Amino acid sequence: MKIKNGFPITIRIAAAAVGIALLTLSGIASAQTDAGRIFRAGASTSNITPAVGTSINGNFSDETVQHIHDETHVRCIVLDDGNTQLAIAVADLCMVSRATLDKAKRRASSITHIPVEHMLVSATHTHSGGTACSVFQSDPDSGYLHFLESRIADAVINAHNNLAPARIGWGTGSEAGQVFNRRWNMKPGEPLINPFGNTDKVKMNPGVGNPNLLEPAGPTDPGISVVSIQALDGTPVAILANYSLHYVGGVGKGEVSADYYGMFAGRMQQLLNADRQHNQFVAIMSNGTSGDVNNINFGAASSVSSPPYHQMQKVANIIAAEVYKVVQQIKYQNWVPLSVKQKQIELMVRKPDKTELTRAKTILSKVNKPVLTSVEALYARETVLINDYPNQVSLLLQSMRIGDLAITAIPCEVFAETGLEIKAKSPFKSTFTISLANGYNGYLPTPAQHQLGGYETWRARSSYLETEASVKITQSLFEMLDLLNKENNP
Ligand SMILES: [Zn+2]
């Protein structure tokens, strides 16, 4: 069973003279000025393409690599304000477990001495990359996990090796035409029976032109956040972008591809004339809050099919063009303060009750195939697996400050409305969220979205946190953002 496209940072001023002027104006202690401070940045990539014959995840059924259409990478930037160093790395993976990332971070930290808690590593959410954690019927190969640990670490180590004086700036663009909420309220009529035998109120991926469509059950976030880093002579060093789009998809069977994330990186390099530099230019597209948002316009009259890879190339070009426009407007700063907060929180697991477990076991007893093809059996198996989970799990949350820009990191597939709430309530001028970061704890529907049901709420290793999880996570992030904000504005 394969679901198409569905699833499976006080103003700081560098010049000493202006620093004194600021001191006179506001009485801020001289220790707060930034005279003589040097801001540095470095970027790097490392290749994490899975070998032919290994596992690809992102669907209900496992797939085996038959062909590599385009290589998959970890793309990393390291920033250094003279006091604090931090690393942001994004890997072309559907999701990656905390265990693997923790090992990669420790390895990178042992060489770079960047504290592990100053490293943010996320997955793009390509559905055509190597399997890096167990989900549905895909399990990672231990060799690939070992390879990933060292290659993720290499991206951080190389970016750290490339540290050189740099300037940095950021801005925001918008592209509303490529994001569509995929959860829909339907006209009354046909009951929406889920794999647990209960009735849902919303349908995920209801089909383009479905006559029973009423309205999307949630918003989209069309914002494109852009961080641009240049060498002091204006040579492009790196772009870190963030857009809330699940992925695009449309690959050939058994084919490896970094999806639109990889094509965006290539297109940005082309637009900025940053080919074949001595220090490689690195463009990164991180996944925003796209748990309920994909690239299919369900409200259109009819669906348009396009050859493999055409739609992802189109989306990559459109988003890269908008990012290029934003980059032209960016005002660069020669020094900005960096700071990171990391926190671990405990959340309850939505474990099945006795009746649910019995039902699941009964369903599975009637199936004697190695590969499950019915959604009911698939979720019965997930119910049994979640029953073995601990009652509580710990999640790693991060907030980073880069000047007056903030980045929050959540190890989940976060809904657009949660990302929009963080942007609106953050004490920082600009804030964006990187999803699927520092681990993988499944979908993060809001409590209200849990009430509606639908695929993203169906209990599985891809959705198992307590129904209040999004509220507790955002509360913790706001506490961290407040601390970061007070730290630099005493
Ligand atoms: Zn997903």
Continuous H helices in 5-141: 16-26, 98-112
Task: Dig out the tokens for 333 from the structure.
Answer: 């700063």
Identify the pLDDT of residue 303: 87
**CA nearest neighbour of 335 among 86, 102, 80, 117:** 80
- Yes or no: say if 76 and 45 are a contact pair by the CB < 8 Å rule: yes
Q: Is the pLDDT of residue 2 over 70?
A: no
| CA 290 to centroid of ligand 1, rounded, Å | 8
Q: Is the pLDDT of residue 264 over 50?
A: yes
Q: List pLDDT tens digits, range 288-315.
A: 999 999 999 999 988 888 999 999 999 9
| CA 236 to centroid of ligand 1, rounded, Å | 32
Determine the Cα angle at 413 with ends 396 and 445, to 5°.
Answer: 100
Task: Dig out the tokens for 354 from the structure.
Answer: 């006795």
| CA 486 to centroid of ligand 1, rounded, Å | 35
Beta-carbon contacts of residue 56 (< 8 Å; ≥ 6 apart): 50, 62, 63, 64, 65, 128, 129, 130, 131, 138, 254, 256
Task: Dig out the tokens for 205 from the structure.
Answer: 């991926």
For the chain, what percent of residues have pLDDT higher than 90? Answer: 88
| CA 95 to centroid of ligand 1, rounded, Å | 9
Identify the pLDDT of residue 256: 98
pLDDT tier, 320 (very low <50, low <70, confident <90, very high otherwise): very high
| CA 5 to centroid of ligand 1, rounded, Å | 9
Cα distances (angstroms) measured from residue 80 to each of 61, 86, 160, 327, 330:
43, 7, 9, 21, 20
Identify the pLDDT of residue 490: 57
CA gap 22, 217 in Å, rounded:
49
| CA 307 to centroid of ligand 1, rounded, Å | 22
| CA 436 to centroid of ligand 1, rounded, Å | 9
For 154, other C-beta atoms within 10 Å of its C-beta total 21
Q: Is the pLDDT of residue 440 over 50?
A: yes
pLDDT tier, 135 (very low <50, low <70, confident <90, very high otherwise): very high
Q: List pLDDT tens digits, range 348-378.
A: 999 999 999 999 999 999 998 889 999 999 9
Residue 105 — left, alpha, or beta (φ > 0 → left; ψ -120 to 50 → alpha)? Answer: alpha
Phi/psi of residue 402, nearest 5 degrees? -125, 95
SS3 40: strand
Least confident of 31-35, 357-361, 418-422: 31-35
The average pLDDT across 372-394 equals: 96
**CA nearest neighbour of 352 among 451, 443, 461:** 461
Least confident of 9-18, 89-98, 273-282: 9-18
pLDDT tier, 3 (very low <50, low <70, confident <90, very high otherwise): very low
SS3 81: coil
Average pLDDT, the chain: 92
Identify the pLDDT of residue 369: 85
SS3 52: coil
| CA 243 to centroid of ligand 1, rounded, Å | 14
Q: List pLDDT tens digits, range 162-214.
A: 999 999 999 999 999 999 999 999 999 879 999 999 999 999 999 998 999 99
User: Which segments within 309-459 are labelled E, that is strand?
Assistant: 338-348, 392-402, 405-409, 413-414, 430-434, 443-444
Helix H or strand E encompassing 41:
strand 40-47
| CA 421 to centroid of ligand 1, rounded, Å | 20
In the chain, where are the structural domains located?
16-351+389-488
Identify the pLDDT of residue 189: 85
Identify the pLDDT of residue 190: 79
Task: Dig out the tokens for 456 from the structure.
Answer: 């993203």
